[in-house]
């Protein structure tokens, strides 16, 4: 009894010992799983920090260099635009000056053209007067009225200073038919001529039609 009971007690006590020894592993299992979880959490947090840091490129040296280069390009562009505007203003000023000068040249040319027209008009007027004087003036010689000179009343352009002779002759008689004549030595002789007559002027100057 006693030996059997002792063996039974030993057998019954063995599971209790195993049970008391098996209670420790669950605690170690938790630690074993907790360490990787903590490491994973730390790694995730670090990765998140890296992702956050990498998602903001404005702080990188490369970005700063590109930003500085961009600012330089913008400054160069503004300088080029300012130069272009200045060139445009200079060209506009030059164009305005050329326009003013061309306007002055055109006005001067117009004035010269007008002066030329005025001179031509005066020359034509003088020529007409001279032609009229020729047509209505009788110098020395024998002239046929209606052919060489116009009919009308004539008198000398200047008073006489000495003897002269004039005669009104019938045309076609070669001076054989004297209608009227005179040999004054002074004064301003006056004659009236009609078609069909010849007029002789010898030393009396120029007779001008009145």
Query: Rounded mean pLDDT of 72-94?
Result: 93
**110: pLDDT strictly greater than 50:** yes
Q: From residue 44, give the alpha-carbon distance in Å to each of 36, 38, 119, 167, 191.
A: 12, 10, 107, 148, 143
DSSP 57: G
Mean of all residue pLDDT scores within the chain: 83
Q: For residue 17, what pLDDT band results from cuts at 50, 70 and 90?
A: very low
pTM of the model: 0.43
Q: Alpha-carbon torsion 38, 44, 48, 53, what sign?
A: positive
Q: Please tell me the predicted confidence (pLDDT) of residue 16.
A: 46
**56: pLDDT strictly greater than 90:** no
Q: Note the Cα 191 to chain centre separation in Å.
A: 71
Q: How far apart are CA 159 and CA 208, in angstroms?
A: 12
Residue 168 or 35, more confident: 168
Residues sharing a CB contact under 8 Å with residue 152, sequence separation 6 or more, in sequence order? 136, 192, 193, 209, 210
Q: Please tell me the predicted confidence (pLDDT) of residue 12.
A: 44
Q: Please tell me the predicted confidence (pLDDT) of residue 32.
A: 63
The model's pLDDT over 178-190, given as tens digits with 9 standing for 90+, comes to: 999 999 999 999 9
The model's pLDDT over 145-203, given as tens digits with 9 standing for 90+, comes to: 999 999 999 999 999 999 999 999 999 999 899 999 999 999 999 999 999 999 999 99
Q: Please tell me the predicted confidence (pLDDT) of residue 44.
A: 58
Upper half-sphere CA count for residue 138 (Cβ side, 13 Å): 35
Query: Rounded mean pLDDT of 13-22?
Result: 46
Q: From residue 140, give the alpha-carbon distance in Å to each of 15, 87, 132.
A: 184, 79, 18
């Amino acid at each position: 009894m006693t030996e059997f009971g002792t063996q039974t007690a030993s057998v019954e006590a063995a599971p209790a010992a195993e049970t008391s020894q098996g209670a420790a592993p669950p605690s170690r299992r938790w630690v074993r799983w907790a360490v990787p979880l903590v490491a994973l959490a730390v790694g995730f947090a670090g990765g998140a920090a890296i992702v956050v840091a990498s998602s903001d490129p404005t702080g990188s040296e490369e970005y700063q260099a590109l930003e500085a280069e961009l600012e330089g390009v913008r400054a160069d562009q503004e300088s080029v635009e300012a130069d272009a505007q200045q060139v445009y203003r200079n060209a506009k000023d030059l164009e305005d000056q050329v326009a003013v000068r061309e306007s002055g040249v055109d006005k001067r040319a117009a004035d010269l053209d007008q002066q030329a027209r005025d001179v031509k008009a005066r020359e034509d007027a003088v020529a007409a007067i001279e032609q009229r004087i020729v047509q209505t003036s009788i110098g020395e010689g024998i002239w046929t009225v209606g052919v060489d000179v116009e009919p009308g009343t004539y008198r000398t352009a200047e008073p006489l200073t000495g003897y002269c002779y004039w005669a009104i002759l019938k045309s076609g008689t070669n001076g054989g038919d004297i209608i009227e004549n005179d040999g004054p030595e002074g004064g301003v002789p006056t004659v009236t001529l009609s078609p069909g007559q010849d007029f002789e002027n010898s030393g009396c100057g120029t007779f001008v039609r009145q």
